[in-house]
Amino acid sequence: MTESYETLLVERRERVAIITINRPEKRNALNIKTREEGAAVLEELSMDESVRVVIFTGAGDKAFIAGADIAEFQGRTAITQREVMLGRSLFTAIDNFPKPVIAMVNGYCLGGGCELALACDLRIASDTASFGQPEINLGIIPGGGGTQRLTRLIGEGKAMELILTGDIINAQTAYNVGLVNTVVPAADLEAKTMELANRIAEKSPIALRMAKEAVKLASRSNLDEGLRREVDLFALCFSSQDKDEGVSAFLEKRKPDFKGR
Protein backbone atom coordinates (compact mmCIF):
# COMPACT_ATOMS: atom_id res chain seq x y z
CA MET A 1 0.00 0.00 0.00
CA THR A 2 1.39 3.40 -0.98
CA GLU A 3 -0.07 6.66 0.28
CA SER A 4 0.74 9.90 -1.52
CA TYR A 5 1.34 13.26 0.04
CA GLU A 6 2.48 16.38 -1.75
CA THR A 7 6.14 15.85 -0.82
CA LEU A 8 6.25 12.29 0.55
CA LEU A 9 5.49 8.71 -0.39
CA VAL A 10 4.51 6.38 2.43
CA GLU A 11 4.64 2.68 1.81
CA ARG A 12 3.92 -0.15 4.22
CA ARG A 13 5.64 -3.49 3.79
CA GLU A 14 4.25 -5.76 6.46
CA ARG A 15 5.59 -4.38 9.76
CA VAL A 16 7.84 -1.75 8.18
CA ALA A 17 6.78 1.71 6.92
CA ILE A 18 8.99 3.48 4.39
CA ILE A 19 8.74 7.28 4.17
CA THR A 20 10.31 8.63 0.97
CA ILE A 21 11.02 12.34 0.64
CA ASN A 22 9.74 12.86 -2.88
CA ARG A 23 11.25 16.02 -4.40
CA PRO A 24 14.02 14.45 -6.52
CA GLU A 25 14.15 17.48 -8.85
CA LYS A 26 15.20 19.55 -5.81
CA ARG A 27 17.44 16.79 -4.47
CA ASN A 28 14.75 16.12 -1.83
CA ALA A 29 15.46 19.42 -0.07
CA LEU A 30 13.29 19.83 3.02
CA ASN A 31 10.77 22.62 2.64
CA ILE A 32 8.17 23.56 5.23
CA LYS A 33 5.56 21.30 3.62
CA THR A 34 7.90 18.27 3.81
CA ARG A 35 8.60 18.89 7.47
CA GLU A 36 4.88 19.29 8.24
CA GLU A 37 3.88 16.21 6.28
CA GLY A 38 6.71 14.18 7.80
CA ALA A 39 5.71 15.09 11.34
CA ALA A 40 2.04 14.34 10.55
CA VAL A 41 2.87 10.91 9.08
CA LEU A 42 4.98 10.04 12.11
CA GLU A 43 2.14 11.00 14.44
CA GLU A 44 -0.14 8.64 12.54
CA LEU A 45 2.42 5.80 12.44
CA SER A 46 3.20 6.14 16.14
CA MET A 47 -0.37 5.02 16.93
CA ASP A 48 -0.42 2.26 14.31
CA GLU A 49 0.33 -1.03 16.06
CA SER A 50 0.90 -2.81 12.74
CA VAL A 51 3.99 -0.67 12.12
CA ARG A 52 7.04 -1.61 14.16
CA VAL A 53 9.92 0.08 12.32
CA VAL A 54 10.09 3.18 10.11
CA ILE A 55 12.60 3.87 7.33
CA PHE A 56 13.34 7.32 5.90
CA THR A 57 14.83 7.63 2.43
CA GLY A 58 14.97 9.97 -0.57
CA ALA A 59 13.47 9.57 -4.03
CA GLY A 60 15.77 9.02 -7.01
CA ASP A 61 19.37 7.85 -7.04
CA LYS A 62 21.14 11.16 -6.41
CA ALA A 63 20.06 12.42 -3.03
CA PHE A 64 18.87 11.27 0.34
CA ILE A 65 18.17 14.91 1.32
CA ALA A 66 20.34 17.84 0.14
CA GLY A 67 19.43 19.95 3.16
CA ALA A 68 16.88 22.57 4.02
CA ASP A 69 15.23 24.21 1.02
CA ILE A 70 17.61 27.12 0.54
CA ALA A 71 15.09 28.97 -1.64
CA GLU A 72 12.86 29.35 1.43
CA PHE A 73 15.67 31.17 3.27
CA GLN A 74 15.56 34.09 0.89
CA GLY A 75 13.96 37.16 2.41
CA ARG A 76 13.10 35.34 5.62
CA THR A 77 13.51 37.34 8.81
CA ALA A 78 15.27 36.05 11.91
CA ILE A 79 11.98 35.99 13.82
CA THR A 80 10.17 33.98 11.12
CA GLN A 81 13.09 31.55 10.82
CA ARG A 82 13.06 31.05 14.59
CA GLU A 83 9.32 30.31 14.51
CA VAL A 84 9.86 27.77 11.70
CA MET A 85 12.59 25.99 13.67
CA LEU A 86 10.72 26.00 16.97
CA GLY A 87 7.42 24.93 15.41
CA ARG A 88 6.42 21.34 14.82
CA SER A 89 9.87 19.82 14.34
CA LEU A 90 10.27 16.76 12.14
CA PHE A 91 13.65 16.02 13.73
CA THR A 92 12.24 16.10 17.26
CA ALA A 93 9.33 13.94 16.09
CA ILE A 94 11.83 11.32 14.84
CA ASP A 95 13.85 11.57 18.05
CA ASN A 96 10.75 11.07 20.21
CA PHE A 97 9.14 8.48 17.94
CA PRO A 98 8.39 5.41 20.08
CA LYS A 99 9.70 2.91 17.51
CA PRO A 100 13.06 2.46 15.79
CA VAL A 101 13.69 4.76 12.81
CA ILE A 102 16.33 3.90 10.19
CA ALA A 103 17.83 6.36 7.70
CA MET A 104 18.41 4.58 4.36
CA VAL A 105 20.91 7.03 2.88
CA ASN A 106 20.92 6.72 -0.90
CA GLY A 107 22.93 9.80 -1.97
CA TYR A 108 23.64 13.39 -0.85
CA CYS A 109 22.98 13.63 2.88
CA LEU A 110 23.71 17.28 3.58
CA GLY A 111 22.76 19.97 6.06
CA GLY A 112 19.21 19.32 7.25
CA GLY A 113 19.40 15.93 5.51
CA CYS A 114 22.34 14.95 7.68
CA GLU A 115 20.45 16.33 10.69
CA LEU A 116 17.44 14.18 9.81
CA ALA A 117 19.69 11.12 9.52
CA LEU A 118 21.26 12.03 12.88
CA ALA A 119 17.82 12.15 14.51
CA CYS A 120 17.21 8.57 13.30
CA ASP A 121 18.30 5.62 15.43
CA LEU A 122 20.37 3.83 12.76
CA ARG A 123 21.95 4.97 9.50
CA ILE A 124 22.68 2.67 6.55
CA ALA A 125 24.48 4.29 3.63
CA SER A 126 25.00 3.26 0.04
CA ASP A 127 28.62 3.45 -1.08
CA THR A 128 27.58 6.37 -3.32
CA ALA A 129 26.26 8.47 -0.41
CA SER A 130 28.03 11.57 0.88
CA PHE A 131 27.65 13.50 4.09
CA GLY A 132 28.26 17.00 5.35
CA GLN A 133 27.07 20.07 7.21
CA PRO A 134 27.79 22.72 4.53
CA GLU A 135 25.72 25.49 6.18
CA ILE A 136 28.90 27.48 6.89
CA ASN A 137 29.19 28.09 3.13
CA LEU A 138 25.85 29.92 3.24
CA GLY A 139 26.95 32.11 6.13
CA ILE A 140 24.86 30.18 8.66
CA ILE A 141 25.28 27.19 10.99
CA PRO A 142 23.37 23.90 11.39
CA GLY A 143 20.10 24.71 13.16
CA GLY A 144 18.28 21.38 13.27
CA GLY A 145 20.42 19.64 15.86
CA GLY A 146 23.60 19.32 13.76
CA THR A 147 25.90 20.92 16.28
CA GLN A 148 24.43 18.82 19.10
CA ARG A 149 23.57 15.40 17.69
CA LEU A 150 26.60 15.17 15.39
CA THR A 151 28.92 16.12 18.26
CA ARG A 152 27.36 13.54 20.56
CA LEU A 153 27.59 10.86 17.88
CA ILE A 154 31.11 11.36 16.48
CA GLY A 155 32.83 13.54 19.08
CA GLU A 156 33.71 17.23 19.21
CA GLY A 157 36.88 17.12 17.10
CA LYS A 158 35.37 15.53 13.99
CA ALA A 159 32.05 17.36 14.35
CA MET A 160 33.86 20.68 14.66
CA GLU A 161 35.92 19.89 11.56
CA LEU A 162 32.84 19.08 9.45
CA ILE A 163 30.87 22.09 10.71
CA LEU A 164 33.69 24.66 10.40
CA THR A 165 34.88 23.51 6.97
CA GLY A 166 31.55 22.47 5.45
CA ASP A 167 33.50 19.63 3.83
CA ILE A 168 31.60 16.76 2.25
CA ILE A 169 32.80 13.27 3.16
CA ASN A 170 32.13 9.99 1.38
CA ALA A 171 30.25 7.04 2.87
CA GLN A 172 33.39 5.13 3.86
CA THR A 173 34.77 8.12 5.77
CA ALA A 174 31.35 8.60 7.39
CA TYR A 175 31.57 4.97 8.50
CA ASN A 176 35.13 5.40 9.76
CA VAL A 177 34.13 8.33 12.00
CA GLY A 178 31.03 6.54 13.30
CA LEU A 179 28.47 8.66 11.48
CA VAL A 180 26.86 5.63 9.82
CA ASN A 181 26.35 2.09 11.05
CA THR A 182 26.97 0.30 7.75
CA VAL A 183 27.97 1.01 4.16
CA VAL A 184 26.63 -1.28 1.43
CA PRO A 185 26.83 -1.31 -2.38
CA ALA A 186 24.14 0.98 -3.83
CA ALA A 187 22.39 -1.96 -5.51
CA ASP A 188 21.98 -3.72 -2.16
CA LEU A 189 20.88 -0.72 -0.08
CA GLU A 190 17.17 -1.41 -0.05
CA ALA A 191 17.49 -5.17 0.50
CA LYS A 192 20.03 -4.76 3.32
CA THR A 193 17.96 -2.04 4.99
CA MET A 194 14.77 -4.10 4.76
CA GLU A 195 16.62 -7.11 6.14
CA LEU A 196 17.72 -5.06 9.16
CA ALA A 197 14.28 -3.46 9.60
CA ASN A 198 12.52 -6.83 9.44
CA ARG A 199 14.95 -8.34 11.93
CA ILE A 200 14.26 -5.51 14.40
CA ALA A 201 10.51 -5.65 13.66
CA GLU A 202 10.40 -9.19 15.08
CA LYS A 203 11.48 -8.01 18.53
CA SER A 204 9.07 -6.90 21.24
CA PRO A 205 7.86 -3.39 20.36
CA ILE A 206 7.62 -2.67 24.07
CA ALA A 207 11.25 -3.67 24.69
CA LEU A 208 12.32 -1.69 21.59
CA ARG A 209 10.59 1.39 22.94
CA MET A 210 12.20 1.03 26.36
CA ALA A 211 15.59 0.38 24.76
CA LYS A 212 15.40 3.48 22.56
CA GLU A 213 14.36 5.63 25.49
CA ALA A 214 17.10 4.22 27.70
CA VAL A 215 19.91 4.61 25.14
CA LYS A 216 18.88 8.20 24.44
CA LEU A 217 19.16 8.97 28.16
CA ALA A 218 22.90 8.32 27.95
CA SER A 219 23.55 11.65 26.24
CA ARG A 220 20.85 13.55 28.10
CA SER A 221 21.41 12.72 31.74
CA ASN A 222 24.26 12.16 34.13
CA LEU A 223 25.38 8.59 34.78
CA ASP A 224 23.57 8.13 38.11
CA GLU A 225 20.29 9.38 36.71
CA GLY A 226 20.73 7.34 33.51
CA LEU A 227 21.48 4.14 35.44
CA ARG A 228 18.51 4.72 37.73
CA ARG A 229 16.10 5.31 34.84
CA GLU A 230 17.52 2.30 33.00
CA VAL A 231 16.52 0.12 35.97
CA ASP A 232 13.00 1.59 35.89
CA LEU A 233 12.63 0.95 32.15
CA PHE A 234 14.12 -2.55 32.55
CA ALA A 235 11.66 -3.30 35.35
CA LEU A 236 8.78 -1.91 33.29
CA CYS A 237 9.46 -4.63 30.69
CA PHE A 238 8.54 -7.15 33.41
CA SER A 239 4.94 -5.91 33.24
CA SER A 240 4.63 -7.04 29.60
CA GLN A 241 3.34 -10.31 28.18
CA ASP A 242 6.22 -10.02 25.71
CA LYS A 243 8.70 -10.56 28.56
CA ASP A 244 6.83 -13.75 29.60
CA GLU A 245 6.78 -14.85 25.95
CA GLY A 246 10.49 -14.11 25.44
CA VAL A 247 11.56 -15.99 28.58
CA SER A 248 9.21 -18.95 27.90
CA ALA A 249 10.34 -19.18 24.27
CA PHE A 250 13.99 -19.33 25.36
CA LEU A 251 13.30 -22.04 27.94
CA GLU A 252 11.15 -24.01 25.47
CA LYS A 253 13.83 -23.63 22.78
CA ARG A 254 11.48 -21.97 20.26
CA LYS A 255 11.24 -18.62 18.48
CA PRO A 256 9.30 -15.97 20.44
CA ASP A 257 6.16 -14.42 18.99
CA PHE A 258 6.00 -10.91 20.42
CA LYS A 259 2.58 -9.29 20.33
CA GLY A 260 3.44 -5.89 21.78
CA ARG A 261 1.38 -6.52 24.92
Separation between Cα atoms, residue 103 and residue 106, nearest integer Å: 9
Q: Give 67 or 246: the residue with its C-beta nearer to ligand COA.
A: 67
The CB-of-32 to ligand COA minimum distance in angstroms stands at 12
Q: Is 37 one of the binding residues for ligand COA (CB under 6 A)?
A: no
Q: State yes or no: is 230 an active-site residue.
A: no
Q: State yes or no: is 156 an active-site residue.
A: no
Q: Give 62 or 243: the residue with its C-beta nearer to ligand COA.
A: 62
Among 110, 117, 177, 179, binds ligand COA (CB under 6 A): 110
Q: Give 26 or 88: the residue with its C-beta nearer to ligand COA.
A: 26
The CB-of-175 to ligand COA minimum distance in angstroms stands at 20
Name the catalytic one among 37, 83, 135, 156.
Answer: 135
Q: Is 71 one of the binding residues for ligand COA (CB under 6 A)?
A: yes
CA 237 from chain centre, in angstroms, equals 24
Q: Is the dihedral of CA 164, 165, 166, 167 positive or negative?
A: negative
Residue 127 to residues 47, 172, 177, Cα–Cα distance (Å): 34, 7, 15
DSSP string, 62-126: SEEE--B-GGGGTT--HHHHHHHHHSS-HHHHHHH-SS-EEEEE-SEEETHHHHHHHHSSEEEEE
Catalytic residues: 115, 135
Q: Which residues sit at the interface with ligand COA, rule CB under 6 A?
A: 26-27, 29, 62, 66-71, 108, 110-112, 134-135, 138
